[in-house]
Amino acid sequence: MQKNIISYNDKDTELEGYYAYIESDKKKPVVLVAHDWSGNNDFAKRKAEQLAELGYIGFAIDMFGKGKIGKTKEEKSALIQPLIQDRNMLQQRILAAYNTVKKLKNADVSHIGAIGFCFGGLCVLDLARSGADVKGVVSFHGLLQAPQNTAPHPIKAKILALHGYDDPMVTPDAVMHFGNEMTAAKVNWQLDMYGNTMHAFTNPDANDPSFGTVYNKQADTRSWIAMRNFFEEIF
């Protein structure tokens, strides 16, 4: 497996991506990996490697800036707030990664997808909302709220949302609003809802019931299988 670090920019902000792939003479679909509110950490990079094992180019993107990793809840919140409050900036930031992967050697630019975790789920959904020409995006326990300050664009991507029913950060009512948004936009979308499952269910380090973040091995396994099936269908 080849593993690489690449620098790219969103205007004046230097960003650092990480991508992995298994060498081949054939072009490969590319799947972006959008990190949680911690930053482009080892979890996101490992997901890029797991995608490489499935035959894709896995590209862990950087939404915060080179070397920016939040360690405390306060630091993490400070990193995501500017992007959550300015969804135009968020979309511009993830589009910088999207435009970067199109230049990668052996990238099949007609088959680009994206997955995201927590805050990263919001990022990949906003990539789709930006009108980018991506085949599909997958949100794992993502934030689902629609932007209020961006111009509407036709959503070309198919969308899969993987969600815990007991997620206190995105309640069933919020999920219903998301479904209504997708339906009104005439999106090809689907939702898997996992019972007795809280936020961050794919992260083995999540163990804070009072905060609403708890790892769930069964939901983790089921959601990854759902993602695999989704990409096999659209790629």
Closest listed residue to residue 111, CA positions, set 31, 178, 39? 31
Domains detected in the chain: 2-234 (3.40.50.1820)
Count other Cβ atoms within 10 Å, centred on residue 75: 14
Interior CA angle at 111 toward 116 and 180, to 5°?
Answer: 50
Radius of gyration, CA atoms only, the chain: 16
pLDDT of res. 177: 96
Cβ(222)–Cβ(138) below 8 Å? no
Q: Please list the pLDDT of the chain residue by residue as tens digits (235 residues).
A: 999 999 999 999 999 999 999 998 899 999 999 999 999 999 999 999 999 999 999 999 999 999 999 999 999 999 999 999 999 999 999 999 999 999 998 999 999 999 999 999 999 999 999 999 999 999 999 999 999 878 789 999 999 999 999 999 999 999 999 999 999 999 999 999 999 999 999 999 999 999 999 999 999 999 999 999 999 999 9
pLDDT of res. 39: 95
Q: Is this prediction's pTM over 0.95?
A: yes
